[in-house]
Structure 1
């Protein structure tokens, strides 16, 4: 990474070309997050445009902009590895992304005290109540609430943060031009306008492939969400929940992982004890979180 400032000083970065080049790399049949990470690792100091013909990159960028226009998106931002405003914390991920799209105020991604509040889509009534109580306390202590805009815990976390005058960031598993689930369209719009929505999902690849391929973007965004925050807090999750992907990522990335006590009291699951042995912190009361993040 030490060569980046000198490299960029001698090469102006054309954002549109980088966008098109990155999208083109994703259009290749064998592309996935791991292979692209390996590609850039094998080409240190390279931007996406260094690996794609310029005319091709510009053409593909035009296609992306047209897709955004169809969805009413006229202004959006990007972050590119190697540029000064790319979040260096992302490099802690095992397979870090080179390129991010965003809508809203990027300053929130750099604000101190960012924590992810995540959990199951099929949240219980008790889990919903715990999520609201937890997020209220986090907002009162000036934490920025990060979640994935999914059904259940994620949606409640975002809504509670907004209702109590807090800040929130949505790291989504679709392109910024898409909404999932559909019932969160208004919530996503509000977060994009007043806070921040972040996506690493390539627009054209997502559009070209079906649900079976696109579902793989959700666990990848969990790893990115973890990298962007200083801690992940799990409210409620089943034994097979995608939330556990973020749990593992948090520990692998050197982030703190908090698990609410109620999970340890659930005899139907074994993952809480397993992650506690790996370094996760059991949360019996909010002060357990506040103390570790002081």
Structure 2
């Protein structure tokens, strides 16, 4: 009897694990037979998620903008959205390639026989879902521990915002041109959790392109903007009438802060802390 049980145990161990079916944000289903040991990530937020889930050492290539944690700078950089080096990716022989939904090379990579998973979080709900999906890909059983840490960190940041800063109307410019963070974006959701208002309604979409006159008419009490796009801000036609500019209530984020703020992933609690500090220092005065 014991010999038979032992034989059955050996047989079970010899059988391959059942493949995991991953449905990505394009509705495409990819079968993962075993946790990938060679991973390419072409979106910074996905790179950071892979690393936070303990698989940084499995990354064999990343996009040029992936720069955190520091160890990802030691792996090959594969270009950006416009100049992804497909040939180099193929030469790395990845088990899976993680790309943005908007990636222009996903189909080409698939024709080369590579497994491609397209994910692009834009909201808090998306971040939680993507954590689950990447956790499945990596074979991590409790990917939601990262989500719990994010929630706790955002709540702590919110508790640090004084009552005098709550309700302040904010304009957050994410890129020159001008593109703003709307209420339905992860940045907008963070502002809401911190008790701030947002002059860009959810009806305009997560990251709408805004007419400068819209901002003038909305008259925000506080402006958040990255260092790269802040040059000439106060000289924009008509913007001298905006309350935030008249009162010097402008938070200009350093490039490294901008990276944290712009990536919907594991560092969202840090992003909330940066925004909360801005509200404490500028909106409560």
State the TM-score, normalizing by the size of structure 1: 0.27
Larger relative helix fraction = 1
Larger Rg: 2
Question: Normalising by structure 2, what TM-score?
Answer: 0.27
